[in-house]
Chain A
Amino acid sequence: MNKRGIGQWIRSILIAVFGLVYLFPLYIAVVNSFKSYADILKSPLALPSHPTMQNFVEAFHSSNILSLYGTSILITFSSVAMLILISSTAAYVIIRRNNGICKFLYAFALIGIMVPPVVTLVPSIKTLSMLHLLYKPSGLLMFYGGAYFSTTIFLYTGFINSIPVSLDESAYIDGANTITIFFRIIFPLLKPCTATAVILMGMWIWNDFLNPMYILGSTAGRTITTGIYNAIGAYTSQWNLVFANVILASVPIIILYLSMQKQFMSGLTAGAVKG
C-alpha cells in the first residue's frame, strides 16, 4: 500500500471514530434504559447484563406517552399544514402583483422574522384568553401561525420569484382563474420549498418547549416535550426511568429521520440554499 493509501485509511478511521463518539451520549441513554437502577449505578457504560423492560412499562404508564404523542402529532401536523397554506398563497400574490400594496405587504411580513417567539408569548396569553383559545390546541396553532408566518413567507417569496410568469400567463389564456392557477400550476412547483418549510417548521414545533408549557398548560393535554419534562421531574434521579422516558420520546423520531434521511437532508436545503 502506498503512502497516500495509508493516509486515506487513517483519515477514514478518524472520521468514523468522531461519528461514534458523537453518538456516545445516545448509546448511554439506550443501554441504561434496559437496566435496573442498581445496575446503572454499578456499570453505567456496559451493555445490560440482565436486560429488563420494566422501566418502559413503568414509564409508559406514568407519562401516558400515547396521549403525549397524540397531542404533539395533532399540533405539529395542523400548524405546519396551516403555515404552508397561508404563507404560500399570500407569497404568490404579493410576488406576482407588482403594485404598491404588495410591496408594502412584503415588507410588513418581514417585521416578524427577527422576533423570537418569547417576545409574543406573554402578550399572546392575554390575546388568546380574550379569544377563548388559551389552554387549547387551537390556541397554540394560532400562536405558531403568527410566530412563523414571516419565516415561511420569506422562504416562499424567494422561491416563487424563480418560477417564470409565462406559466401563469399560458394557464390564464387557457381560462384558469387565479386560485386554480395557484393550486394546479404553481403550488406543485413549490415542492422543494414546501419540503424545506415542512422539515424546519416540523422540527421547531415538535421540539418546542416554552410555548406549549404556558399556552397549553396542563389541562389541554401535554406535548411530548412538556409531558416528558413533567414526567421526569417527578423522579429526577431514578435514571432508569428517565432513560426509558427519553427513549420512548425519541425512538419514533429517530426512526422517521433514518428512514427518510435523503429527503430530510435535501429537503432542508433545497428551498433555502440556491445554487
Chain B
Amino acid sequence: MTQSFSSAIYLDANATEPLRPQAREAVLRGLDQVGNPASVHHDGRQARALLEGCRKQIARFLQRDADCCVFTSGGTEADTLAVHAFGHAQGRRVLIGATEHDAIRKAAPEATIIPVDEHGLIRLEVLAQLLEEGGPALVCVMAANNETGICAPLDDIAALCREHGALLHVDAVQSAARLPFDVSVLAGASIALSGHKMGGPKGAGALVLAEDAPLSPLLPGGGQERGRRGGTPALPAIMGMTAALEASQAQDWAPIAAWRDALAETVQQAGGLCVAADVPCLPNTLSVVLPDVAAQTQLMMLDLEGFCVSAGSACSSGKVAASHVLQAMGLGERAGQALRISLPWNVEEAHVQAFGEAYKKMAQRLKK
C-alpha cells in the first residue's frame, strides 16, 4: 500500500551505498552456508574457512595480519570498541575531531574536542598543543567526513601522534571504498570499516587493529573473534562486505567526481554555496547550503520530486537537526540550511543532471 517512488533517484550513498552485485552474490553464498564458524564439525569448519578468508582479505587491504581484523556489526560498533578498548578505560585521554560522527562522539562523551578550521580540517597546532599537555592519549579522527566529504590530513595527524606516543584511531567508514588508502601513513592506527558504506549489506563492519593484541570486548559473549567480540559473526554480511570492498577497489571514481563537479557548478549558479570547495574531498560528496532555506524544507521538496538526498544528521525520530559538522566549521545558522548529495557507485550522469534541474527549480521557488 505504500506510495511508490519507483522512479526515485538515489543520491544518498553516504547514508548507505546500493548493494554491489558481487556483494549480493557473496551474501547469497553465505546464506546457504549452514555452519556456525565456532562449531568443530564439518559444516562449522566450512563456515570458519569462509570467515577467515574474509578476514585475510580485509586485513590484506590494509596490509596487516589477518589476526588484526575484528569483525563487528558495523562502523558504530567498530568505533565504540576502539574507544572502549584504548580510551579512558586504559587511562588515556580521548581527543576527537569536532566533526566526528556520532559513533565516536557518543562513545566518548567526555572527550576533548579538537577544533577544525573553516575548511573542516583538524587544527594541527591545537592537536599538537593538546598532545603536549601530557598524559597518554587516544586520538580519533575520521579519514573523510560523512557530511562534507572533506578528507583529514591523516599524514600530519599520524606524525603528531607518533611524535607524542599517542594512539590513533581512524574512522575510514566513508573513505575505504572511495579513496586509495595510504597504508604506510596509517601503520600505527586502528581503523573502522563498515560494509554497507562500500556497497555491501548492512550488518557488518570491522575494527582493524594496528597489531594483533587482546582487547577488552564490548560483548564478551562466547569469546568469538578470539575473545575480542562475542556473538556469532554475521557470515553472510561479512562475505558481502569483503566482496564489496574488493569490487570497490576496481572502481574508477573519476567520472563520478566529474559529474559531482558539474553539479557543484549548477548548484552554485542556482544560488547554492558549496561547503567543501578547495579542499581534498571524497569523489562522490557535495555539501551545499541554500541560504535562508531550512534544510528540512529542501529535503522534503526534493523528496516529493523523487530525489533521495539528506541533510545534517537525521535522528531516530526523522527530525532534521542543524549539522554539528557545519557548525564546527563556523557556518552558524547556515548549518541548518545544507543538503548533502552523495553519489552512489552506480550513479548515472543523467541522474545527476536531473537532480541539478530539480535543484534549480527548488532554489528558484524557495530562495527568499
- The reply to whether chain A is a binding partner of chain B is no
